[in-house]
Amino acid sequence: MDSRQIIVVEHPAAMAAAAAQRLVDRIAHDSRCAVCLTGGSSPEGLYRLLADEPWRGRVPWDRVHWFMGDDRFVPLTDPRSNMGIAQRLFLDRSPAPRGNVHPIPTDTNYPEGAANLYADELQGFYGAEKLDPARPLFDLVLMGLGPDGHVASIYPGSRALDEKQRWVLGVAKAGWEPFVPRVTLTFPTLASTREMLFLVDGAGKRDILRRVFAGGDLPGSRVYSDGALVWMLDRAAAPEGVS
Ligand code: 6PG
């Protein structure tokens, strides 16, 4: 599929509410569902909303499984941990069963070890070692865009850009702060979703968004989705001509 849809909202609060609605719509079916979360500051408004009514009451907590698209190789208790932030902002404050929260295991010795364990966990959840585009792994994958065009922990020029086989990779050197090693899902794994939803806000992202939409050789231009690909921007981030 993958025809890019761009949605511009007025401000970050409107973005959080619109993203919450999309999330709830994507998991409104009767079977088990899976959401892949993202780090960074852009999803924080959404995470806060999910912890409180009315959104909290709209999430079928028993049926939803929460994964993370990339994480910093630090303990969950470290303020830089993406899953730690998501837990503090909403998962720990929600009725989500513990077994439905799937952090990247950053308590291993090396990022590669964590990547292998997380690949096993994702494959166990999916029930196969090979992704079938007709049967997506996730219902929704949330994404952010770095000021250099990176997505998840896939940076410009990184070998992870061309990974087609492995589901998860260790990243020894981060291309953007915080400069700690990372673990990241690869493009084919992130693409295995009914919807990939980018949340990008602030005037500081306008220039990189312009380059991404112009098709520059950047992770943000190369990332794809087997399902819908939605870029939600606030007005401050939207490049000229995008409304
Ligand atoms: C990370 C993120 C990263 C993030 C972008 C955008 O671990 O750093 O997953 O890819 O999404 O850097 O971050 P902001 O939303 O803070 O701009």
Sheet with 182-185, side-by-side order of all strands = 70-72, 182-185, 168-171
Position in ligand 1 atom list of the atom nearest CA 153? 10
Taking alpha carbons only, the member of 49, 29, 9, 53 closest to residue 195 is 29
Q: Which atom of ligand 1 approaches the CA of 205 most closely?
A: 17
Q: Give residue 12's pLDDT.
A: 97
Name the residue with the closest Cα to ligand 1, atom 10.
Answer: 152
Residue 67 tokens, joined: 């994964």
Q: Which amino acid is at 106?
A: T
Contacts of 125 (CB under 8 A, 6+ apart): 34, 65, 102, 137
- Spell out which residues line ligand 1, taking CB within 6 angstroms: 38-42, 70, 72, 82, 144-146, 150-153
Tell me which residue has its CA closest to atom 4 in ligand 1: 40
What is the distance, to the nearest Å, from the Cα of residue 100 to the centroid of all Cα atoms in its chain? 17
- In angstroms, how far is CA 183 from the centroid of its own chain? 13
Distance (Å, whole) CA 30 – CA 46:
23
User: Distance of CA 216 to CAs 178, 201, 227, Å?
Assistant: 25, 20, 22
The pLDDT tens digits for 81-136 are 999 999 999 999 999 999 999 999 999 999 999 999 999 999 999 999 999 999 99
Residues contacting 72, CB < 8 A, separation 6+: 39, 78, 80, 81, 82, 106, 174, 178, 180, 181, 182
Strand partners of residue 143: 198
77 Cα to the center of ligand 1, angstroms:
18
pLDDT tens-place string over residues 6-42 = 999 999 999 999 999 999 999 998 899 999 999 999 9
CA–centroid distance, residue 82 to ligand 1 (Å): 9
- Go through the domains of the chain in sequence order and give each one's CATH number: 4-202+218-234 (3.40.50.1360)
Ligand 1 test: best mutation among 36, 72, 78, 150, most atoms within 8 Å of CB?
150
**30 Cα to the center of ligand 1, angstroms:** 31
CA-closest residue to ligand 1 atom 14: 40
Closest ligand 1 atom to 39 CA: 9
Per-residue pLDDT, 1? 57
